[in-house]
Amino acid sequence: MLLYKLLPQGLFNSFEPHYQWYRKLPEIQWALTGSREAGWIASLDNYSYPDFMNVLAVEKQFPYEVYATGKCGPGTWSNDTDTGGRYDTSCYMTKEYSLASASREYGNHGQSSGVVFWWRKNSPIQSMKDFKTMIWMYVEDEKRMDELNSFPGIDNKYWHLDEGHYHTVQNKNKIIALYQPKKLGTEHSKLRLNCYIPIYDKIDELWVGEKRVETFPQHFSYSDTIFIKDANTFVAVRFLVPTKLCAEHEVVFDIIEEVSNPEMLVIYSYNYDGPKRLFTAEEMDNTRNGFVMEVAEASEYSSFESFKKHIKTSQIEETLYANGVWAVRYTSGQERLSIIYHLAWHEIIERKINGRDVVIPMFLSPMVKEDRDGHIEIGNTSLTAHFGLPVWLMADEKRNVYMVMNPNHQPTSVDLKTPDGELKIDAMPLGRIIYQPKSEKTLEILSVLEPGSIHFSAKAKQPKVIVNDIPLPMNNLESQGRESWIATMKAN
């Protein structure tokens, strides 16, 4: 739920404080009902995400960046081919847009997308017409987006399955995205990279090269650049050279309007469009697709034409080596992005931004961090814990609220130093600590087992300590003078 609030899904929150309207949407209601498929969302919303943390979503300082890494286990659904694997994700938000990308090792990549982009259409955001979404997914055969079901055998039109591998490198408002199909030795009539844009409200201007596009369908060469001007956001998309698997067709992309609910503007970048046939593992392993995207707020340029002129001066360098290694480099002004990828191994060999290797942290945002190196700092707040155990720290120094989470079965020591007070616990089990040194309700602990001895400082004359929703009696608190206290779990 922390990721749900901080990453792009939190775009609703990041724009306006009045975001409760979206909780009425069917997909959000489905997730909050506590149903078998998504009960964990409701549980986390109730127990791991205190209300005071909404400040992280509604009062972001822009630009706002979030980075995260993780590891998924194998899928457990029937016919699920997900083998698990590591992933990382990056998100860059401004007041006008939110751009996010992800990379993941071999797996089914279900319930996720390699690149997702939101931008503001109107202000304030009060309905689906007030913002736009762009979602990229690799798709096999003829499927609408609502047919990409990530749960085999379950009718669910809200969580979609990407049918390809995706790997990305992102630097703020720029992304290189690589895609390829993943099912080996199977028959298909179409293989393509799809971009979906729900049309709750029309886009102000859509251009391909020098041509303004207002009617559909349209047919273009892959070398043409797509430009979008909508409200206060500019977008440029340039396709990489897609592998051509059908000799009868030129390499193209199409823009169509798809009749669905909602209506979709869909961009297709084809690898294959022809009679249904069997594709060998070698063909699929060597099939490439992808794009480079750069976005901007309108205020960054004197005009839309100025933005387009900038994009035309940027350069894409794409190299395919004999050993199946695919290298893509993008130069935009003084910025350089590059990614080197092994097609058959489905593995990133190298990612660089401005000549430096890309290293995505476990979790990093302006007010929340996760790490396992035993020490985390946010502003003037520091947390020391056991080396090697991942722990979370949230520090809101403005409101004097601090939170520590231990997601491990093993207990960890906690030594938290803030500008307002200190907290030490010799053994904190799996659970969560909320520390508010200036509040009467100074300390709240939710854990699977009782924590060890607790030393803390508090401004209140009679601080309250709550453990697993039960307030500790005052005779369990011992004053050490100078706002210092010891809390014990056993009755004195």
Task: Specify whether 343 is located in the same domain as 202.
Answer: yes
Strand partners, 325: 342
Distance CA 285, CA 344 (A): 5
Across the range 110-122, mean pLDDT stands at 80
Query: The domain containing residue 277 runs over which residues?
Result: 71-357
Q: Which two tokens stand for residue 339?
A: 């990614």
Q: Tell me, yes or no, whether 343 and 318 share the same domain.
A: yes
Residues 205 and 300 in one domain: yes
**Which has the higher per-residue pLDDT, 438 or 61?**
438
- 290 pLDDT band, cuts 50/70/90, is very high
The reply to whether 110 and 233 lie within a common domain is yes
Separation of alpha carbons 271 and 249, rounded Å: 10
Residue 32 lies in a domain: no
Mean pLDDT, the chain, whole residue set: 82
Contact, 327 vs 335, CB < 8 A? no
Under the banding of pLDDT at 50, 70 and 90, the label for residue 351 is very high
Look at residue 63 and tell me if it is in a domain.
no
Task: Tell which of 357, 379, 412 closes a domain.
Answer: 357
**Going by C-beta distance under 8 Å and a sequence separation of 6 or more, which residues neighbour residue 356?**
none
362 found inside a domain: no
pLDDT category, 46, cuts 50, 70, 90? very low
299 burial level (CB within 10 Å; 0-12, 13-18, 19+): exposed
Same domain, 425 and 309: no
- Same domain, yes or no: 399 and 298: no
Domain identity same for 331 and 384: no
Q: What are phi and psi of 32, to 5 degrees?
A: -100, 5
374 and 327 in a common domain = no
43 lies in a domain?
A: no
Q: In sequence order, what are the beta bridge partners of 227?
A: 207, 236
Are the CB atoms for 338 and 345 separated by under 8 Å?
no
- Indicate whether 129 pLDDT > 50: yes
128 and 271: one domain? yes
**Are 125 and 198 part of one and the same domain?**
yes
61 CB-contact burial (10 Å; exposed 0-12 / middle 13-18 / buried 19+): exposed
Nearest to 122, CA basis, from 20, 214, 230, 25: 230
Judge whether 422 lies within some domain: yes
Find the radius of gyration of the CA atoms of the chain. Answer: 25
- Whether 96 maps to a domain, the answer reads yes
42: pLDDT confidence band, cut at 50, 70 and 90? Answer: very low
Same domain, 216 and 179: yes
Q: Are residues 381 and 351 in the same domain?
A: no
Q: Using one digit for the tens of pLDDT, what is the confidence trace for 314-332?
A: 999 999 998 899 999 999 9
Lowest-confidence region among 179-183, 248-252, 423-427: 248-252
Band the pLDDT of 375: cuts 50, 70, 90.
Answer: very high
Amino acid at 39: G
- Residue where one domain finishes, among candidates 333, 357, 381: 357
- 94/253: higher pLDDT: 94
Q: Is residue 57 very low, low, confident or very high in pLDDT (cuts 50, 70, 90)?
A: low
Task: Identify whether 50 is part of a domain.
Answer: no
How far is Cα 428 from Cα 410, in angstroms, rounded to an integer?
9
Count of structural domains within the chain:
2
Helix, strand, coil tally for the chain in percent (to 5): 15, 45, 40
Where among 322, 357, 392 does a domain terminate?
357
Identify which of 204, 206, 8, 194 has the alpha carbon closest to the alpha carbon of residue 118: 8
Q: Is residue 290 part of a domain?
A: yes
